Amino acid sequence: MDVWLVFRLVKFVGVALFAGGVMMATGPRSQRERLVAAWGLLPLGFCLSGAAGYGLLKSTGGSMGAPWVGAGMFASVVALHLGLLGARPAQRQAWRGIAARAALGATIGTMVGRGGGSEWLVYGLLGGGLAAGIAWALGRGLPVPPADPAPDAAALTLSRFWWWARLEALSAVALFLVYMPLKYGAGVVLDGGQGWFGWIHGLFTLVFLNGLADARRAGGWSAATTATAFVAAMLPGGAWWLEARLRRGPAAGA
């Protein structure tokens, strides 16, 4: 099978998972159901669609510096962040859901209008506006999720967060302690100079960083601990060290 078709298929699956994650995480479901969607479908869809999109650009000779690429990534990160926060019971949950769906619509619209010129901007604005309008029209906002928190919400949040943190740490080790030493020390380029190691690490890091706010709340972390987690994400294996350190203390939570 042509590699381009493989990337297209993975992209389709990733976008479907990401869209489903946004809708479920910000919808009127129980908190446990929202958490499962927020920490399962959302990050998985984000990483799959991001990796496949990168592969499509590389296979077709596209440029990562194209304006529509940056706009689409920005919109998808906003949707990811709001979707992760959407699992929390909150008074303004409906508006958070509208914003998340608007960002999702902008992401998809930008991808549709990538052809050239300013089409990406037009389609992105139309997609985001249409998604927000539909969400608002359904009862003048999204139904507010149940206010009763799930009894295992904190443990579930931290458990899912640490799984993604471990992947981020593994990708950092692969990039900084394997890929780069081989490339600059031995002249061996494992991905043929395509930048796959850095891109995958970047996707995992975005999931980690966007999940910090939720993990901090679930674990009762101090500002200093959260700042330490932010720095740990930049170091090879830093998330592993952070998890081990927190599990030894009262803020472990999971």
- Biggest CA–CA distance in the chain, Å, is 62
pLDDT for 134 equals: 62
CA distances from residue 6 to 17, 47, 63, 159 in whole angstroms, order as listed: 17, 15, 20, 32
Report d(CA 234, CA 229) in Å as an integer: 9
Per-position pLDDT tens, the chain of length 254? 577 788 889 988 998 899 888 888 887 777 888 888 889 899 999 999 999 989 888 887 777 777 878 888 888 999 999 888 877 765 456 777 788 888 888 888 787 777 656 665 665 666 666 666 665 555 455 555 555 666 688 888 888 999 999 999 999 999 998 988 998 888 888 888 788 899 999 999 999 999 888 888 888 888 888 898 888 888 888 888 888 888 776 444 43
Q: Give the number of other CB atoms < 10 A from CB of residue 29.
A: 18
pLDDT for 128 equals: 63
Predicted TM-score (pTM) of this structure: 0.85
